Amino acid sequence: MLHDVRVNTRAHISPTTEPPPALDLRRLGLVVHPRREIDVALDNVREWAEAHGVELVQIPVSGQERVVADPGEVASCDLVLAVGGDGTALHALHAAAAVNRPVLGVACGSLGALTATAAEDLVGALDRVDSGAWRPRRLPGLQVTADGTRTRTAINDVVVVRRGASQVIVTIEVDGQLYVRYAGDGVVVATPAGSSAYTLAAGGPVLAERSDGIVITPLAPHGGCAPPLVVGSASTVTLTIEPGYAGSRLEFDGQVNEEQPSELCTTRVEAYATLVGLGDAEPLLAGLRRRKILIDSPRVLARDERAAAAAAAQPT
């Protein structure tokens, strides 16, 4: 679910020094993963809600058929819970952004970049939010205008990708200056938060904490020289797309859009959505290493194993 919201960003997914907004938790909105095992999280939130006299409703999002509570409008909720993983959190963040509601990401599995608590720890997390022991984590976005008309916002990235066997031709301009023209599979434009998703998989750079800018990563360019590019946060990136005979498609935060605009104008946006932060947030690079998205080379790991074995063999 994508919303036409205009804001600006200068921050990575990072905590702020501002005090947390006061929350009087009377109604919680749920956005849930369509298939993942989420019973532990649901049992915990229902237990907490019953003990505190809080109502639970389910926020409708696109592609969601799983029903866990009565439907409710996000504007009527004081807090939105994204129960599943990072993809679920993205759905919840878009839904909540339009009415400026914070989102608590609940991991049902591996703790990801957008989740603050594991399912088994949810009761304690809700207690902390209820007592004001949380902080807002402002997320950047990408405002994308297609063919000068409809404007939408993505949190991680916007992607143009070939639909079939043919290539697309992409022209990239930054602040009106031509960067490169190439034929290939498409292009990814990402926020710093999104740089560790599709951009990383496509060979683009990861922007660590306190980085600022927009990342543009060509997808499988055929010949020429079209390296990934990082531009300033105030820059405007314009993409001109020639889709080829098989066509192209758009993806906003992984959600497919069937439109085929010939021009996309992309700018950074500020404070688009708000995540709930609890305690010290795990640094981006540490999280990527924990989830083995970043892995040391086998030679270095083998050296570590030899050193550990030698240390274990020493007499005590």
Strand pairing report for 263-277 and 236-242? antiparallel
Q: Is 130 a catalytic residue?
A: no
Q: Would you report the helix, strand and coil content of the chain in percent, each value rounded to 5?
A: 25, 35, 45
CA-to-CA distance for 236 and 192, rounded, in angstroms? 15
For residue 223, what is the DSSP state? S
Rounded CA gap, 183 and 219, in Å?
9
Burial class (CB in 10 A: 0-12, 13-18, 19+), 269: buried
Catalytic site residue from 43, 70, 86, 280:
86
DSSP state, residue 196: G
Cα separation, 281 vs 254, in Å, equals 25
Contact 45, 56 (CB under 8 A): yes
The pair of three-digit structure tokens given for residue 107, joined into one six-digit string: 């991991």
Sequence-separated (6 or more) residues with CB below 8 Å from residue 255: 2, 62
Structure-token match 């290539």, residue found: 167
Distance spanning both ends of the chain, measured CA to CA: 60
Hey, how many other C-beta atoms are within 10 angstroms of the C-beta on 105?
29
Residues 6+ apart with CB under 8 A from 1: 61, 62, 91, 94, 95
What's the chain's length in residues? 316
Q: Which amino acids are annotated catalytic?
A: 86
